Structure 1
Amino acid sequence: MPFLPRTREAEVPLMSRLAALPLILSTLILAGSAVGAADKPAPTAGASDQITETLLSAMKAQNYSAAFGMFDATMRSAVSEEKLRTVWSAQLGTFGPLVSWRITQSAQAQGLDVRIALLKFDHGELQATVAIHPDTQEVAGFVIKPVPSPAKPAPPALYVHPSDFRAVDVSVGTAPFVLGGTLTVPVGLGPFPGVVLLHGSGPQDRDETIGASKVFKDLAEGLASRGIEVLRYDKRTFVYGPQLGDSISVDDEVTVDAVAAVAALRARPEIDPQRVFVIGHSLGALLAPEVAVRSEHVAGVVLLAPPGRALWDVALSQMRYVGAPPKDIAEAERKVAQIKDGTLGAERFLGAPQSYWKDLAAHDGIAMAKKLAKPILLLRGGRDYQVIEEDLEAWRRGLAGTPNVEIVTLTGLNHLFISGSGRPGPGEYGKPDHVDGSVIDKLAAFIAPGKAE
């Protein structure tokens, strides 16, 4: 779920490198503090309300030149019109067309008028913050991110037993890219089987926080409650994104740190080094077999919703599913054709350059899974509209005849392996919930068969 810009803001889930990113068109940091923190109520509405309405109308109409023309000099130097188009199009690819909006808050901060608006799309809602110079009426900042959830947190998952494990802060990797992580260590002396969790795309934190859910925290605590130690860590793009530049490779983004994490977990005195597994989700599932092969001493892998198609095709499929505007789909199709031909040039697809897509295409998860020659469990949720049956079928064909492979579809679960009903869509990721208990059961049975709950 890609990165452009690389930021630690809340995420918008989509199975592409850009999907986990919000639209950040300005950091809204002026004079050393964030504009988003309102200093005092705005004395008037009027003109700044109208500027906000005009800007959002331009974005709804995809009139990027009109929107760009409203920016002040600092904004125009930081954000090109093409970047505005690229990142907004990614939001349309996730949520579908913008339908309506309303201004929910007016304030002043650092001499700027600030307007916060609730944006309603076909398949979800986002929150926009617009900062405006009251004298010139130019736009000084424009931020779009997920709507803060008013819902209460989900009640604790029944499969998590806090008295059965402890959390330990650890570090993964080496300078200059040391990453913070958390071990969930079962109570007892061990030796314990161990698991390393690999994130989906985008700048994921150690919990794989997506919307209101924390997928990896659920997995780690659920498995630790079953006597399985789990290592999860912040992804390099989450911690060091701005330092990585456009030349970042898949090794930089995922593989190098994952191999280091496996080695660190195997070295723990309470771990059985012959029973260390890799569990990957989404992009992490695609790369988990390669991480296991390169680590050399992995007992098996679990692939949670692994894409079987090229990720650019997965992204196009999602755009069509959520009803993105036809011209955005056509533009995306044009760029995908150029990626395949190697002619994207200086343009980007979902914020990533040709070099990244070429590198990503070279990583064949199915071939690596066959090379691994270790037990493989592949799970997909039956309501997953991101990784679909076509993806699963690609893995079935590719692994036909490979021993010790189990492929399971879990009815009623989405891409995050959370239970739901009705037509799935990105809006449900904002509802607080937990990974379904059936997933914990499947994982525990694969990693530690016969172990009591």
Structure 2
Amino acid sequence: MRYLLFSILFSLSLTATAQVEGDWFAILDAMGTKLPMKLELKNADGNWQGAMLDPTVAGRRMEMNAITFDGQKLHFEVEVLGITFDGVQNGKQVKGVFNQANVDFPLTFTRHRPDGFPISEGPITIQQRQQEPTSFPYQREAVSFSGGADGVTLAGELTMPQKGKPKAMIVLVSGSGPQDRNAYLGSQINHSPFLVLSDFLTRRGYAVLRYDERGVAESTGDFASATTDDLSKDAWAAVRYLRTRKELKNVSVGVAGHSEGGMIAPVVAAADGELDFLLLLAAPAVSIDSLMLEQRRQVALSMGMPEMVIKRDEPALRAAYAWIKDNTQLNQEEYVEGLYGVFEEQLDNLPEALRKSIVDPRAFNAQYVKPLSSPWMRYFIAFNPQEYLRELKVPLLAINGMKDTQVPALMNLNAISEAMAFSGNPDATVVPLMELNHLFQPADTGAPTEYGTIETTFDESALEVIGSWLDERFK
């Protein structure tokens, strides 16, 4: 899922008095993947405010929490991403440790942009990927429409064949983390999967609507406070918008969702009741707590982390996920305190050497509690895709790469097959794709750190499976 990718590969830091106030720059080396970051720190009457930015993606700005600076030591947190940073300022440097997903990385911020840091803000292309379109033999229209909540306006692009009605209309729904209409993954990965998929489908005769998620790029709203339910309502709003287009009247409409978007698609189908088809691309289909444990294990192994390190806190995470699912009704304060209590009880399950090294149990447990406390994560962990998959009777295609470490193929494709058998869906096709990863790239290990090293954005074999399946149903 994109959340984990975004979570593991995105980072930042800082806090302040006059000497720490202002902009700071760094490039994080996350197991071989280089990630540029920018910090903005302000001190307003003794109250610190800060944000971290990804300079490669327009609109990707995350506010920092709990900023402290004692004149030398800097600490800040970004709760929505489960990030903490602790460092020491020495002149024009802040050197410290960046922690996310319980993994530490050394990180140094400087006042100047280090070599390799993007000079300009906003989307950049290091090098155009071979599959990105350079010509557009079809109609392209910038569109905007009301989202799934007051104050949310979604902006995007509708592409259609040059002449005549399209065979069908398709709404593209992206995965976890703030994504624009192209599902652009930042300059270090430098791929735009939805731009490639949209181009392929439109050339094949389909109308495709892709949009910036709420609070991203040209869309309004607040992404940081949005849950999967909120994003589902936005996707349904996109479907309803297509139905307002007079020139598209009576044209079949479906939803294609990738990763979390593939989890959202069945929710939209249930709310709408009239969708004509679904395309589930690397879609979660098992309970999310089970998925997250397996995802965590497979991603970490693919990135070279020792299995003993991966397993040492799995009992605590399993207990926390179960508790979260049983306590969805709690207010935020009760939820956070309850979660601290769960991890406190689980300390005895940690290896003895690690347990003895813990000086402040609450500070130690904060590395788990804070990433699990955002509105999105609270809702996400309690979600069960089977509740929606087992109700589906519309034509459905589900595909997944067998080297996907984020949404492992076998466990999730099997779960989709079982759900389709339960619902009695007469037109469900499930296709495993050998040697492809979570982004449908030809891969070696399937690790997220590999994505940017692969030239292919969306493997032709996966595109052809999608195109052929649609063509069989829409002439």
**Residues 1:274 and 1:410: Cα distance change in structure 2 (over 3 Å):** same
Aligned pairs for 1:41-80 (under 5 A) are 72-73=69-70, 79-80=76-77
Q: 1:407 to 1:85 in 2, by over 3 A?
A: closer
Q: Deviations over 1:90-123 (max 9, x none)?
A: xxxxxxxxxxxxxxxxxxxxx9736999x9xxxx
**What's the offset of the Cα at 1:352?**
3.4
Taking only the aligned residue pairs, the percentage that are identical comes to 25
Equivalent in the alignment of 2:471: 448
The counterpart of 2:109, out of the listed 130, 133, 138, is: 130
TM-aligned CA deviation for residue 370 of structure 1: 3.1
Q: Is the 8 A contact 1:335 1:349 kept in 2?
A: no
User: 5+ residue gaps in structure 2?
Assistant: 27-66, 99-104, 325-337, 342-365
Q: Does 1:204 align with 2:204?
A: no
What is the alpha-carbon distance in structure 2 between the residues aligned to residue 88 and residue 176 of structure 1? Answer: 31
Question: 2: CA distance between counterparts of 1:332 and 1:236?
Answer: 33
Aligned match of 2:54: none
Cα 1:243–1:289 change in 2 (3 A) is: closer
Number of the residue aligned with 1:391:
412
Higher RCO structure (Cα 8 Å, ≥6 apart): 1
- The aligned residue for residue 189 of structure 1 is 164
Matched, 1:316 2:289: no
Amino acid of the structure 2 residue aligned with 1:262: V
In 2: Cα distance, 1:189 partner to 1:226 partner: 13
Partner of 1:335: 317
Q: 1:274·1:299 contact (CA, 8 Å) conserved in 2?
A: no
Find the residue that maps to 1:231 and give its secondary structure: strand
2:15–2:69 CA contact under 8 A, matched in 1: no
1:23 partnered with 2:44: no
In structure 1, the partner of 2:264 is 287
**Alignment partners' CA distance in 1, 2:372 and 2:294:** 15
Match of 1:43 in 2: none
Matched, 1:170 2:143: yes
**Structure 1 gaps, min length 5:** 2-12, 38-69, 90-110, 120-125, 134-140
Q: Residue 172 of structure 1 contacts residue 233 of structure 1 at CA under 8 Å; is this kept in 2?
A: no
What amino acid sits opposite 2:449 in the alignment?
A: G
Q: CA RMSD in A?
A: 4.4
For 1:108-119, list aligned pairs within 5 A.
Answer: 113=92
Q: TM-score, normalised by structure 2?
A: 0.64
- SS of the counterpart of 2:216? helix
Provide closer, same or farther for how the CA distance between residues 112 and 410 of structure 1 changes in structure 2, counting only shifts above 3 A: same
Once the 2 structures are TM-superposed, how far is the Cα of residue 151 of structure 1 from its aligned partner? 6.4
- Contact kept? 2:295, 2:407, Cα under 8 Å: no
* One of 388, 406, 409 as aligned partner of 2:429: 406
Determine whether 1:228 maps to 2:206: yes
Q: What TM-score do you get using the length of structure 1 for normalisation?
A: 0.67
Distance 1:245 1:203 in 2: 8
Deviation at 1:230, TM superposition (A): 0.6
C-alpha distance in 2, partners of 1:27/1:171?
38
Per-residue deviation, 1:76: 6.9
Instruction: State how far apart, in whole Å, the 2-side matches of 1:429 and 1:145 are.
Output: 19
Q: Distance in 2 between matches of 1:385 and 1:35?
A: 33
CA contact (8 A) 1:278 1:302 kept: yes
Distance 1:171 1:77 in 2: 42
Deviation at 1:301, TM superposition (A): 0.2
1:428 equivalent to 2:450? Answer yes
The alpha carbon displacement at 1:341 in A equals 2.0
| Structure 2 counterpart of 1:94 | none
Number of aligned residue pairs: 365
| CA deviation map 1:159-191 (0-9, x unaligned) | x68343132111132451212211122211315
- Could you tell me how far apart the structure 2 residues matched to 1:387 and 1:350 are? 23
Instruction: Output one character per residue of 1:66-108: Cα deviation in whole Å (capped at 9) or x when no partner.
Output: xxxx98449978714x96994379xxxxxxxxxxxxxxxxxxx
Q: How does 1:210-289 map to 2 (within 5 A)?
A: 210=185, 211-236=189-214, 238=216, 243=222, 248-252=226-230, 254-289=231-266
Q: 1:150 to 1:281 in 2, by over 3 A?
A: closer
